[in-house]
Structure 1
């Protein structure tokens, strides 16, 4: 299996890789370093410094970015110079967590810590808590038919699945899909419905079928992978972020953004409607 280093970033905690189809580039963040990045394959990785920790940067349908920051959800214009808070929900002891955009352009975001939650944010800034008392949700992704929402529960070390109503923007009861003998991170779902999960303390990405069966494991040249997404012109390359925080003796590769070319075909990413 070919695994390449796309960006030798030495990130403290790289997260939320997101392919931006409008610019053929990869968005990713280094949360504790307070930076959002845009990587243009074959060219350069551009960083934007931020005043708070940031757990994700996603494209907006009207141009610019939406960022999940410690204080809440913020939108940046297309120049990257003007920021407005869309939702401000700062709480003591609560950090920004996982972030996803559904096929209707709604943003779904978790917070980490005691009293954490999963919230739905619409383009006009309306926010509603979908799941309360969720301390460690590290990943969100949807099935190709948009009828399932997958949620990574780091506290319970498992991946859960919830029935998803795309038109209503609502979720059903959680049920366990698979247990993970490791520390689960973020995940991506390909066009065939398989789940690709970063396992943070195992140095690997695992592939699970839609029924939760382990299908394959890919060993990585990093000790602490954190998240993954599909990207590239045909959405066939798996990009994987990693961290140096929590690594006792980091190598040159730790903290890099990795890429596994031609692995599978991902789903077309969605842009936030706000």
Structure 2
């Protein structure tokens, strides 16, 4: 196994890595830096798009564009020009802010909501679903800081974290309706010294999660048992995505500076890749709207 720091743009707050097999690129965001980066690991070429405000999520859309969440709401994003189309606004000030999302096989976008009260976090957030007809439905409530949305390979289980309580939950997922039910604790990352942040599931059903502040990437079996924990060069790891032609490279985003007095680290904010894991991921689905 080999961990490599990539020659890609560094971020104040790297998040939301997404492999684009059609372009052979990894898209990822700098949330605090209000940017979208697209990096080609074969050539080293990079494109950067400036966003008008903090950006918190990026998923791909059928037809080649993307869906992103800003503080103002949900937008379509042209990955070539940077043009934005607001499709679901949030009020100003927002009652919650969107944070982290993924798309199911039917093309629905499930998005976490985090509290807008960052100074004294309260469970104002939740879980939302954007359907292809652009309808937004609240699926759950009582979340402080949302992260880690992803599904088991059969899509019968949906994973979702409240990072404030160091816990990832599992839900029953109905692929026919996009409904969730039976929320229960799945894993806690306290023993690894950090919070669950961005996550993905591989072809074998292992749940891979960035342990923010703990400096680890953890893989959990479907029964919640820890399969392995990988030490990263920096503590503030933020999200993971499998990519490359064979989906066997694990890309890892990181954050330059934390908000709780964490010491500055060399290499924090960089994009990393882990090779030689012996595991393969799955292509993320694209929004159908």
Q: TM-score, normalised by structure 2?
A: 0.90
Figure out how many residues of one structure are paired with residues of the other and give that number: 273
In the aligned structure 2, how far is the partner of 1:89 from the partner of 1:272? Answer: 20
Counting only pairs closer than 5 Å after superposition, residues 80-159 of structure 1 correspond to structure 2 as: 80-90=81-91, 91-92=93-94, 94-113=96-115, 114=122, 115-159=124-168
Q: Residues of 2 paired with 1:8 and 1:80: CA distance?
A: 20
Whether the aligned pair in 2 keeps the contact of 1:203 and 1:224 (CA below 8 Å) is yes
Q: Which residue of 1 aligns with 2:181?
A: 172
- Cα distance, 1:93 vs. partner? 6.2
1:160 counterpart residue number: 169
Alignment of 1:1-274 (within 5 A): 1-42=1-42, 43-77=44-78, 79-90=80-91, 91-92=93-94, 94-113=96-115, 114=122, 115-181=124-190, 182-246=194-258, 247-251=262-266, 253-263=267-277, 264-274=279-289
Contact kept? 1:136, 1:155, Cα under 8 Å: yes
Structure 1 unaligned blocks of 5 or more: none
Deviation string, structure 1 residues 212-268 (Cα, Å, up to 9, x no partner): 0011110111221001011110111110000111242220x2111110123211012
CA separation in 2, counterparts of 1:123 and 1:159?
27
Aligned residues of 2:257 and 2:264 also touching (Cα < 8 A):
no
Q: 1:179, 1:81 → 2: CA distance?
A: 38
Q: Distance in 2 between the 1:79 and 1:184 partners?
A: 32
Unpaired segments ≥5 residues, structure 2? 116-121
Q: How has the CA–CA distance of structure 1 residues 146 and 121 changed in structure 2, closer, same or farther, with 3 Å as cutoff?
A: same
Conserved 8 A contact 1:106-1:273: yes
- How big is each residue's C-alpha offset from its partner over 1:118-154, in whole Å with a ceiling of 9 and x where there is no partner? 1100122110000122121111010001111001121
